[in-house]
Structure 1
Amino acid sequence: MTKLSGKWLWGLGLLPGLAIGYLAGHWQELGSASLIEVQQKTLTLQSEGLTRLKQELEVKNTQLTTQQTAFEQLQQTLKGQEAQIQEQKRQLAFFERIMRPGSEQTGVSIDNLSVETTSVPGRFHYRLALIQAAKQRELFRGQVVIRVEGSLEGKPKSLNGTALGMKAGSASYALRYFQLLEGDWQLPEGFVPDKVILTIPKQGRQPAQRMVVGWGEVLKPLAVPQVAPAG
């Protein structure tokens, strides 16, 4: 029994040495394995962190896009409201000139002109507002002479009512307060409009009137309410 115990004790005494010897012989391998494991864990954590950052970036981009879209929509809404306010101001000023005449001059005046594009190439819809701003309202009759000047094939070209395809009598007026003349102009193919010249010839108590406006200036929304002509 004593001999067995001695052998066991002798064997146990060898274990630390064997362990130390094993570690001494394989320390590089164990160290490399631990380093690789640490690096793998670090890489995994970095990959997970990068994935989270990408997800956060996508969320931020989505929010930014949504905010940008909302901002652009708000800008469009504000522009639309501003345009409506300006239009209402122009309409109010138009009616004030009619209902509160302050001019001593008699006769019809050319108030404004609007030209709008149509679905037909070269065809434009025009609206011409005439008013009588005098305190003493008389019935005036007459006709507006319309001419569109520009160029065709690089050469100056002037188009009268007939050349514009206007219907007979479409430029005639008979009014005491205001009247809205409207119709269509058909421009020749290749014609480049530059300006519009409107003239009311002198006739009796009607003084001569003339308005010259650039084509780009009249391609705007009508500044006069779209109401039926009134005499």
Structure 2
Amino acid sequence: MSGSRLIVTQQKTLAWYIGWGIVVLVALAVSYVAGRYFSAAERQEAIKRADFLQEELKKFQSAYQQVNEDLVMQTQSAKVDNQSSQQLVETVKRLQSVQNKLESELRFYRNIMAPELDKQGLTIAEFDIIEDSEKNSPRFKLVLTQAGKQEQFLKGNVDLKLKGKLAGVDKVYSFKELGTFQAKHFQFQFRYFQNIEGELSLPEGFIAEEVVIKARTHGLRKNQTAEKQVNWNS
């Protein structure tokens, strides 16, 4: 038995196994208790953090609500201010329009009662165009007066022509062609003043530029003529 070896092992007693078993159980118990402790601590910390965030959220929600209410109030206030300003502007425009109309009428009657020294007899006092933005049917108003001494009635007729361009070509239309007029619509007979007015129907694509007005009396011992040119957009 020259190649054989003898191996001696120490046989562990039952007490040794029990001891190690107790050590392992203790270690497991310590780990479990420590885990529960740290888990509870983390949970408490998480609860505190959640409570803090909840309080912050309430603060932000309150601040947001306040800002939103302020914004609504400011918006409403701005609307009211804007409406008031707009109403004020409209009122001023309306009053200015009334004032301009009254001033125009005042000048008109002053010219009749006390005309300029160089004006005598038949006079073209005013000519206005009122355009309609929705349709191509403007209205016109011509005012004829007798300047100076109104000792006689003036009778006659007036010829109105409209100059402009149609498709880039110069065109001239008589007002009689631009509406449902009759000859009597352009006749006058007055001592102080007379209005001649109506509605025009312009050709499609026509660009109006100028109105030429010529009024003539007839039946007088010395007939009179009044002429005037008015820019369409003046």
Bin for the TM-score computed over the shorter chain: 0.7 to 0.9
Q: For residue 57 of structure 1, what is the amino acid of its counterpart? A: L
Q: CA RMSD in A?
A: 2.8
Q: CA deviation at 1:130?
A: 0.6
In the alignment, structure 1 residue 143 sits paired with structure 2 residue 157 = yes
SS of 1:132's partner is strand
Between the aligned partners of 1:38 and 1:140, the Cα distance in structure 2 is 98
1:208 corresponds to 2:225: yes
Secondary structure in structure 2 of the residue aligned to 1:63: helix
Whole-angstrom CA distance in 1 between matches of 2:71 and 2:161 = 61
Q: 1:119 to 1:69 in 2, by over 3 A?
A: closer
* 1:176 is the counterpart of 2:176: no
Cα drift, residue 207 of structure 1: 4.3
Q: Which residue pairs with 1:160 in the alignment?
A: 174
Which position in structure 2 is the counterpart of 1:131?
145
Q: CA deviation at 1:85?
A: 1.1
The equivalent of 1:45 in structure 2 is 59
Name the residue aligned to 1:34: 48
CA contact (8 A) 1:108 1:206 kept: no
TM-score for both structures, normalised by structure 1? 0.74
CA distance in 1, matches of 2:217, 2:176: 21
Shift of 1:68: 0.7
Q: Which has the larger radius of gyration?
A: 2
Aligned CA distance change for structure 1 residues 75 and 62 (closer, same or farther; 3 Å): same
1:148-194 C-alpha deviation (Å, 9 max, x unpaired): 01111221110013322331121111222111112232222332211
Measure how far apart 1:117 and its partner are. Answer: 4.3
User: TM-score, normalising length from structure 2?
Assistant: 0.73
For the residue of structure 2 that corresponds to 1:170, the secondary structure is: helix
Instruction: For residue 135 of structure 1, report the CA deviation from its aligned partner.
Output: 3.1
1:106–1:205 contact (8 Å) kept in structure 2: no
After TM superposition, what 4+ stretches of structure 1 lie above 6 angstroms from structure 2? none
Q: Is 43-52 or 114-123 further displaced after alignment?
A: 114-123
Is the alpha carbon distance of 1:136 and 1:117 closer, same or farther for their aligned partners in structure 2, counting shifts above 3 Å?
A: closer
Cα displacement (A) at 1:139: 2.1
CA distance in 1, matches of 2:68, 2:99: 46
- Aligned to 2:183, the other structure's residue is in SS state coil
Unaligned runs of 5+ in 2: 1-33
> How does 1:1-231 map onto structure 2 within 5 Å?
25=38, 26-103=40-117, 105-117=119-131, 121-135=135-149, 137-165=151-179, 166-201=181-216, 205-217=222-234
Kindly provide the CA deviation profile for residues 186-230 of structure 1, in whole angstroms up to 9, marking residues without a partner as x: 22233221111111258764443221112223xxxxxxxxxxxxx
Q: Sequence identity, in percent? A: 22
**Larger RCO, structure (CA 8 Å, separation 6 or more):** 1
